[in-house]
Amino acid sequence: MTDAAPPPPPSPSNNPPPGWYPSTPGSQAYWDGTAWTGDVAPLASASVSDEKTWAVLTHLSVFLLSFVGPLVVYLIKRDESPFLRAHAAAALNLQITLFIAAIVSVILILVIIGIFMILAVIVIGIVYPIVGAVAAGRGDYPNLPGVISFVS
C-alpha cells in the first residue's frame, strides 16, 4: 500500500458502483460505494487500451462462446487487473442469471407468461453484452441492472 491519497469522492448525483478507480498516476484506489477505503493498488502492467480491448472482447465473446468466454477471461486475468476482473465477472454473472431465468421461463410456459419471459431473456441476452462492451470501451466499470452477482 502506498501513501498516495485517493481521488476526491464522486459527486452524489454520479455515485459509481463499488470497485477500483484510477487515483494518482500509476495507481488505483478502491471505492466501496460510499467512501474510499484507503486501499491503493498499482495499475496492471498491460496498457489501459489493452485492458479495454480485453473487457470489450469478454462481453462480446458471449455471442460465440456463451459463458465460456467470460469464464476463461475471469480465470486467467482476474489477478492482473481489477478492471478486467469486474467486466469478466459482470459478463459471467449475466450468463448465469440468464440461464436461471431461461429455466424458470421454460417452466412457466405452462402458464403462458413463460413465453413473454423467454422473449425478455432473449432481448436482455442481446442488449446487455452490447451495453457492457460499450461501457468497457469507454473505460467505465460495468453496471448491468437486474443481474444477480454470483461471481465478484
Q: Cell for 130? A: 452490447
Residues of the chain with pLDDT under 70: 1-15, 23-27, 38-47
In whole angstroms, give the CA distance from residue 142 to residue 12. 18
pLDDT tens-digit map of 113-138? 999 999 999 999 999 999 999 999 99
Question: What's the grid cell of residue 149?
Answer: 452477482
